[in-house]
Amino acid sequence: MSNETRDGRAWQPDYLLDIDKDKCIGCGRCYKVCGRDVMTLKGINEDGDIVSLDDDEDDEVEKKVMVMNDMGACIGCGACARVCPANCQIHGLEKAAA
């Protein structure tokens, strides 16, 4: 896929493909710069399972991490990668399945 900027320069999207939960520190910076709900904050329990962050289950959460929410909404702008202090995101050219 090849795209152009508004003035015709070549631009290649770099889509968010995955987030490494072992590297992610759950800071939420990527979530704040993404206006497309591509990712969301979840918890990891003591068994290593990803769980919702409900008020009732906060005691069971060992760590908070960002996870993919709507991969198909990513436009490949790279804003999330620029603000991530943990370098935990995997980006590439692969499109999400429709």
pLDDT one-digit tens code per residue, 39-82: 999 999 989 999 998 766 566 899 999 999 999 999 999 999 99
Write out the DSSP string of the chain: --EE-TTS-EE---EEEEE-TTT-----HHHHH-SS--EEEEEEETTS-EE---GGGGGGEEEEEEEES-GGG-----HHHHH-SS--EEEESPPPP-
pLDDT one-digit tens code per residue, 20-33: 999 999 999 999 99
Strands 15-19 and 10-11: unpaired
pTM, 2 dp? 0.84
